[in-house]
Amino acid sequence: MERKAFLKTLGAGAAFALTFSCLHGCSSDSGDNEIEGEVVEEPTGIDFTIDLNSAEAVNLTSNGGFILKDLVVIVKNLEGEFVAASQICSHEGYDQVRFASPDNVGIFYCDVHGSRFAQDGTPLNSTSEGRPLKIYSTEVLADDMLRIFEA
């Protein structure tokens, strides 16, 4: 086989392999668009502490960092203050609320349907249908313990 014919064959095979893997990656096993996460009930009686020096809290050492615990998103916002919100989106109850800092503005968001919330729980877009996100109280105690609780 000549070099030119070999390279054409090799190129066609590589193109097929690339196309197949890309298209296969876009499909789902069940054939429908599955949503990550689960619909869960809003927890009640939230009251727990986190040791800010523990491995569990390592993401809270920098402004903009967050962790998830007991269906609560605990954040050290861009101003260095601790804020806590429900991980359960007020839109449809999925447990996918996270924290992000687009354009240096810290917001809570749900990646299921795109709901966005201010740090006080106020809806920032129409996806949440005007329902606020539940916000919990935070308090730094002695010995670098952070308390998250319902007021």
- Check whether 3 has a pLDDT greater than 80: no
DSSP string, 39-99: B-PPP-S-EEEEETTSGGGGGGGSTT-EEEETTEEEEE-TTS-EEEEESS-TTT-BS-EEE
Out of 2.30.130.60, 2.60.40.10, 2.30.40.10, 2.102.10.10, the CATH code matching 47-149 is 2.102.10.10
Report the amino acid identity of residue 65: G
Cα separation, 40 vs 52, whole angstroms: 28
The conformation of residue 30, written as its DSSP 8-state character, comes to T
CA-to-CA distance for 137 and 81, rounded, in angstroms? 12
What are the tens digits of pLDDT across the range 83-103?
A: 999 999 988 888 999 999 988
pLDDT tens for each residue of 36-84: 777 888 889 999 999 999 999 999 999 999 999 999 999 999 999 999 9
> What's the whole-model pTM score?
0.74
- Model confidence band, residue 124 (pLDDT cutoffs 50, 70, 90): very high
The answer to whether 79 and 121 have CB atoms below 8 angstroms apart is no
Q: Is 137 helix (H, G, I), strand (E, B) or coil?
A: strand
Distance separating alpha carbons of residues 101 and 76, to the nearest angstrom = 11
Instruction: List the domain boundaries for the chain.
Output: 1-30, 47-149
